[in-house]
Amino acid sequence: MVDKVFEKSIIKQFEFDEEVASVFDDMLNRSVPFYKEMQRLSINFACNFLDENDKVYDLGCSTASTLIELSKHCEHNLELIGIDNSTAMLNRAAKKAKAFGVDIELINKDLHDVNYCDAKLILSNYTLQFIRPLQREKLVKKVFDSLKDEGIFIFSEKVISSNSKLNKQSIDEYYEFKKTQGYSEFEISQKREALENVLIPYTEEENKKMILDAGFSHCETIFKWVNFATFIAIK
């Protein structure tokens, strides 16, 4: 289904509710520049580190697109676990996983309330940005503690520039991208308002500092388009 969620005036802040979940794959593909390229790159990097029966978590898995793609492209059998606190998203994730014949354990919980263990890879694309800053560092530390030695954390985030002039230009560039995806200026402004103080982006440097402060030995950017970045961190 086509994303028309913000064609009407907003009556609440952005939520991953039934209306959003019903159009989410379209929303993501049209709202995150090079989403498919990012997903494929993340999977290619992940597959280089994975072995038979490794455990993989996706934090904020939404409709499980990434775990399904990982399963299709990785030569090894993997233990796949998707976590999300949106029932609407997980309902669709369960249907998609069944349709693709992919065995995924789906956990409907807040990311803070799950005990992750013995993971070789943890994914989290465009999710940390929705976690309150004070909780975010705590969650990343939990990710670090949950990974096996030399485990991998691959995550993607919307990012801001520390230079206000460049940040303004990045935002303008992003909204021009959205227009190329068929969103009207009204939809763009309504979504911006809905996301105010719900999606809280860090700079690229702040993300990397958060990762290194959690104990990771290495973190680098493997993909970036203006104000969206994908990072890989090694325990």
Ligand X SMILES: C[S@@+](CC[C@H](N)C(=O)[O-])C[C@H]1O[C@@H](n2cnc3c(N)ncnc32)[C@H](O)[C@@H]1O
Site residues for ligand PRE per CB under 6 A: 27-28, 31-32, 126, 158, 191, 195, 199
Nearer to ligand X, 89 or 188 (CB): 89
User: Computed from CA positions of residues 54, 97, 37, 179, in that sequence, does the dihedral angle turn out positive or negative?
Assistant: negative
Residue 84 in contact with ligand X, rule: CB under 6 A: yes
Binds ligand X (CB under 6 A): choice among 56, 57, 62, 116:
62
91 assigned to a ligand binding site: no
Q: Give the footprint of ligand X on residues 117-156 (CB under 6 A).
A: 125-127, 130-131
Q: Counting contacts by CB under 6 A, is residue 86 touching ligand X?
A: yes
Within 13 Å, how many C-alpha atoms sit on residue 31's CB side?
A: 21
Q: How far apart are CA 194 and CA 198, in angstroms?
A: 8
| 35 known ligand binder | yes
Beta carbon of residue 49, minimum distance to ligand PRE (angstroms, whole number)? 25
| Ramachandran angles phi, psi of 12, nearest 5° | -155, 170
- Beta-carbon contacts of 218 under 8 Å, excluding residues fewer than 6 positions away, are 233, 234
CB of 195 to ligand PRE, least distance (A): 6
115 annotated ligand binder? no
27 binds, among ligand X, ligand PRE, none (CB under 5 to 8 A by kind): ligand PRE
Tokens of 179: 């227009």
Q: Is 197 annotated as a binding residue?
A: no
How far CA 128 is from CA of 51, 185, 207, 233, in Å, comes to 26, 27, 10, 14
Give the bridge partners for 225, in sequence order.
Answer: 228
Q: Smallest distance, Å, CB 52 to ligand PRE?
A: 33
- 71 binds ligand X, rule: CB under 6 A: no
Answer for the pair 96, 63: CB distance below 8 angstroms, yes or no: yes
Nearer to ligand PRE, 177 or 216 (CB): 177
Residue 182 has a CB neighbour count (10 Å cut-off) of 12
Residue of 97, 106, 111, 122 that binds ligand X (CB under 6 A): 111
Q: Which residues are annotated as a binding site?
A: 35, 60-62, 84-85, 110-111, 125, 192
